[in-house]
Amino acid sequence: MKPPMILFVEDEPKVAASVKQGLEENGFEVDLAPDGAVGSYLASSKKYDLILLDVNLPHVSGYEVCRSIRAKDPSVPVIMLTAMQAIENKISGFDAGADDYIVKPFDFRELLARVKVFLKRSTGGGEQLEDVILRVADLELNLAEKSVTRQGMPITLTAKEFALLEFLMHRKGRVVSRADISEHVWDVNFDTGTNVVDVYINFLRKKIDKNFEPKLIHTKPGLGYYLKEL
Ligand code: CA
**Omega before 214 cis (within 30°)?**
yes
What local confidence, expressed as pLDDT, does residue 18 receive? 95
Condensed to tens digits (0 to 9), the pLDDT of residues 24-73 reads 999 999 999 999 999 999 999 999 999 999 999 998 889 999 999 988 88
Ligand 1 center to residue 93 CA distance, Å? 15
State CA 114 to chain mean position distance: 11
- CA of 116 from ligand 1 middle (Å) equals 23
| Residue 230 confidence (pLDDT) above 90 | no
Mean pLDDT on 14-25: 95
Q: Are 53 and 92 in contact (CB under 8 A)?
A: no
Whole-number Å distance, alpha carbon 155 to ligand 1 midpoint, is: 34
Q: From the CA of 10, how far away is ligand 1's center (Å)?
A: 6
CA of 11 to the centre of ligand 1 (A): 5
Across residues 135-140, what is the average pLDDT? 93
Output b/e per residue, 186-215; b: 16+ Cβ within 10 A: beeebeeeeebbeebbebbeebbbeebeee
Phi, psi (degrees; rounded to nearest 5) at 182: -65, -35
- Give Cα separations from 148 to 63, 163, 171 (angstroms): 26, 11, 17
Distances in Å between the alpha carbon of 112 and those of 22, 24, 83, 200, 212?
8, 11, 18, 24, 39
The torsion region of residue 151 among left (phi > 0), alpha (psi -120 to 50) and beta comes to left
What is the three-class DSSP state of 111?
Answer: helix
Q: What residues does 226 pair with on adjacent strands?
A: 218
CA of 17 to the centre of ligand 1 (A): 13
Centre of ligand 1 from the C-alpha of residue 12, in Å: 6
How many Å lie between the centroid of ligand 1 and the Cα of residue 125? 31
Residue 37 alpha carbon to ligand 1 centre in Å: 14
Determine the number of helices (DSSP H) and then strands (DSSP E) in the chain.
8, 11
Which pLDDT score is estimated for 26?
A: 92
Distance 170 CA to ligand 1 centre (A): 39
C-alpha 64 to ligand 1 mean position (Å): 14
Distance (angstroms) between ligand 1 centre and the Cα of 95 equals 20
Segment 111-137, tens digit of pLDDT? 998 898 888 765 544 444 445 888 999
Report whether pLDDT(152) > 80.
Answer: yes
pLDDT in tens, 173-228: 999 998 889 888 887 766 556 688 999 999 999 999 999 999 999 999 989 999 99
Total length of the chain: 230
Contacts with 193 (C-beta within 8 Å, 6 or more apart), sequence order: 87
The pLDDT score that the predictor gives to residue 101 is 84
Other C-beta atoms closer than 10 Å to the C-beta of 138 total 15
Bigger pLDDT: 84 vs 19: 19
C-alpha 146 – ligand 1 centre gap (Å): 33
At position 10, the amino acid (one-letter code) is E
The helix-helix angle for 87-95 and 196-204 (nearest 10°) equals: 20
Give the Cα-Cα-Cα angle 154, 155, 159 (nearest 5 degrees): 130
Per-residue pLDDT at 94: 78
